[in-house]
Chains A and B, each alone.
Chain A
């Protein structure tokens, strides 16, 4: 199956189209089944994936618009493989646990289209294809937030759309300029990312292009001054929207940095280490403090999301194998953990119809299973060893320590601050006397809810204890990328900072 990536991308879209025909009562089962098939196909991709090969695999190239240089060009490497699997996994789990009743058919169809764009972004190797899926992913999300969201849903959805759209248009200009530079150099138009990798750009071009791509990605991540759309989007989105947004859509930004900015503009990236690290640390500390101040339980998770994205950004800009591998791993961890937390919060909201933490309290007594699972997620979120959250954070901090010990210590406060607000949240929600009568009548998790959470818990613990099967392919691809960046860098500072991984040196 050489074309498995095309199938992975278009299967959900076709299923979405067919979904219009399915009877309303059966659409949910249909959605879950389709998402499960998609997930198993992505697992198959993993089994067929050659973990020793750090390059692009399952490559498909079909020239689409030769005059523009647009190619239908897909491929997957260690970095994108697991993000794809995580995306299909979270879509499946999210669909299983979905509690939405009205317009369920539209929701399932929208989610399936969204799944297409999500998988598409991570496997596209042509910049225009990437942009196409990237922009297209906004539309279903706009609809999900706008149609099923809270009272401010329309404002939140428009803010989400316009913010990202504006940023990505600047990025588009950057992409067009890259193609123009490539055209000047070779006489051929090409938007293929691998073709762009081969170009060594002068420093001033690198800086401008880095800035253009930075705006597009930073808004999506969202990085500090551009993060204001996220709490609104999370606050208003229905549970499933928050799950997908936190788990997958935010990863598009950080993935973009790894896929585009670093290998294409190595010198500019090295120059950006300090400013990006500075912003990331602001993100980590400031949003953690903001999270602590929230009364709304969902906002706490939303801000903690921003805080954790700061860790991921820091790891990407550490320019060494530990940091980048760690931050790709942290993308997966954050996807599963924060996705799960949003699901948990949603389950509570479905029962109590409030997100105000002061109305909770003492839930552990009435919902023991729920409390246990929430506890595991809380621990994973604060980065307790033997959970998935620890591996990523540890590697990132280890990696960044080589760049700047002081900043690493500041970033390390994220674990402390994270523990502060997450444990406070846990305490307020689960312990203490029951003050709210509604809480007394709460029922524990239904089997469906339980079984959609258990897989997440298993993954969190499995990859916390034994992350090697995932870390190794990521590490291979990251090391190959670093070696390549080192070779490509033109300034001596960049040559010095970009660390050539040891293993590849030995092979030579």
Chain B
């Protein structure tokens, strides 16, 4: 309470300072190449990563609004790791508009700082500020991809994001009205006292209202059914790596806040919050799977698949056990490599103009017979697809069985069975791409697949592939670390 403990702010400040440095460099000399900015961003993220690693667990700082507990450290590390994987994808062989702006990199770093604020606080106002900083930067990053449907995507995302922000603010307001506090740890104490009737009882409508409003806000952010409709369009409009990034990193941050808020409700004994989350989770994974089946564009398929995976993970959130919360981060840590790898594979075949189809950038036909044209690329994409489908021993399989095991452990065997059946449905659309790549004849020339490839992209994809294949070897330390961190912070 007494100390400012500024060290807890250091990681975010590093990211912000990095963004400012990039802007200043641009002021001094505006002819600098994007490779410089990419590497600078990487280095800043590297320092940021180190700063997060150096934090002590369970500290508060800056007048108690910053909370550095286990989940905030783990999630910050994941956010930064995901960003470090993403940013070298800017180094394509073809010039793409957005990466020519130094502002892209500055905004990117501001966004990361926003996510870090969001996860490192249990103060609803600071969470809101972090959320908005990150989201506004992200809208801009999408729009920078300079195509008409990118603008559409950015505006769509902005509108939906603004709506979600509104719901979040209203939900927080109701919480404040009930408890007179916006600090979640105080909120939970006061709410539990009022709900048990120790001090003047809280009206049920208040608990109901606040949780519903907040749930809507996070259902938007996590793209849960029925608030998921923006996701495929936004992913399609955004550049492929950014879409992959959006399917992982912002969701990690949103999950942290969800764990803090909804975990609190479930701990308070508001069982129907759990029920609603479970219903949302099941609807999300099932319906997104069904939608993914009928997509004609690989990118949209991957968008729906990301939604379905999010549904999977939300189910773990509803369990509100240490295993369940561990499963969330473990799943994203494993999913991150595979999914970013898959989106990066789309990125290397990105064209300035659509060559196959007036509507889609990445129709399935584009990948037909890829094994004959680009065998290594096809094998890698095949690996990513198998991993997403949950075929062992690839990375996502271990996340899946951990989630399912956590569900069984918490007594939800039926949930595990639904998850299993959903994985089976999902296998079909991943398999469809594999069938196109391996079993069909090519309908295009070499240029369509190799178009945008460069050495840095190959390195990133190779890294993602190694992380996907070799998951069995690093999964144990990863679980131990995440589990330790989560249980240390009492979730």
Contact = CB atoms under 8 A, between A and B. Distances in A.
A403 interface: no
Contacts of B440: 154
B420 A172 contact: yes
A365 interface: no
Interface stretch (B165-173, B295-303, B473-481): B473-481
A108 B173 CA distance: 66
B409 interface: yes
A176 B327 CA distance: 15
Contacts of A165: 389, 424, 427
Nearest to A165: B427
A157 interface: yes
B322 to A, nearest CB: 12
A146 B439 contact: yes
B392 A135 contact: yes
B416 A65 contact: no
B392 A132 contact: yes
A68 interface: yes
B424 A176 contact: no
Interface string B408-431: 110001001100110110011001
A179 B427 CA distance: 25
B235 interface: no
Tell me whether chain B's interface is mostly helix, strand or loop, or mixed: helix
- Chain A: interface residue count, which band? 20 to 34
Nearest to B418: A173
Given A162-B427, A166-B421, A173 B472 contact: no
A67 B393 contact: no
A35 to B, nearest CB: 23
A139 B386 contact: yes
A438 B428 CA distance: 42
Interface residues of B, number: 34
A177 B405 CA distance: 8
Contacts, number: 91
Contacts of B435: 146, 154, 157-158
Given A135-B392, A143-B438, A146-B439, A169 B424 contact: yes
A275 B306 CA distance: 42
Given A135-B391, A139-B386, A154-B435, A176 B421 contact: no
Interface string A160-175: 0110011001101100
A162 B417 contact: no
B274 to A, nearest CB: 20
Contact of B408 (A128, A169, A170, A176): A176
B402 interface: yes
A177 B392 contact: no
A170 B439 contact: no
B369 to A, nearest CB: 11
Contacts of B480: 67
B420 A169 contact: yes
B483 interface: yes
30 contacts: A64-B472, A65-B475, A65-B476, A67-B476, A68-B398, A68-B402, A68-B475, A131-B392, A132-B392, A138-B391, A142-B431, A146-B439, A154-B439, A157-B439, A158-B435, A162-B424, A162-B428, A162-B431, A166-B421, A166-B424, A169-B390, A169-B423, A170-B420, A172-B404, A173-B413, A173-B416, A173-B417, A173-B420, A176-B416, A183-B409
Interface of A: 64-68, 128, 131-132, 135-136, 138-139, 142-143, 146-147, 153-154, 157-158, 161-162, 165-166, 169-170, 172-173, 176-177, 179-180, 183
Given A139-B391, A153-B439, A177-B408, 16 more contacts: A64-B476, A65-B398, A68-B398, A68-B405, A68-B479, A128-B401, A132-B393, A142-B431, A142-B434, A143-B439, A146-B438, A154-B435, A166-B427, A170-B420, A173-B404, A177-B413
